[in-house]
Amino acid sequence: MPVYEYQCDACEYKFELLQSMNSRAEDTACPQCRHTGVHRLMSAFASQVKGEQKPGFGEMKAKDMYNERMDKFKKLPPIMGARAMPHDPGMTPSSDSGAEGI
């Protein structure tokens, strides 16, 4: 939930309030005079990065994992011979021609 800054219209008291994004300024009361005529102030956005994690870390990790998997796929032997076509037990050599019924 974000922290919003408000100013009371009656006593001009400025205060911060932790509220849901769906809450309206008209429903907010001043903590000093209990007046419901307050308006939301524009404030600067602030964020804090904790530890060694940097912005974009998730994207970099995903790209590294993708490159690692592609390197593993390059090392696999090529598909050839019997491995290339899976055997279908329902398919017979005579039904493969397709021109018999025409």
User: How far apart are the C-alpha atoms of 6 and 14, rounded to whole Å?
Assistant: 6
pTM: 0.42
pLDDT the model gives residue 42: 80
Q: Give yes or no for a contact between 38 and 28, defined as CB atoms under 8 angstroms apart.
A: yes
Q: Which has more pLDDT, 78 or 96?
A: 78
DSSP state of 85: S
Tell which wins on pLDDT, 49 or 27. Answer: 27
How high is the mean pLDDT of the chain? 74
Q: 5 forms bridges with which residues in the sheet?
A: 16
Higher model confidence: residue 65 or residue 50? 65
Chain-centre distance for alpha carbon 68: 22
pLDDT of residue 81: 57
- What phi and psi, each to the nearest 5 degrees, are found at residue 40? -80, 135
Distance (Å, whole) CA 77 – CA 61: 27
CB contact set of 55 (below 8 Å; sequence gap of 6+):
49
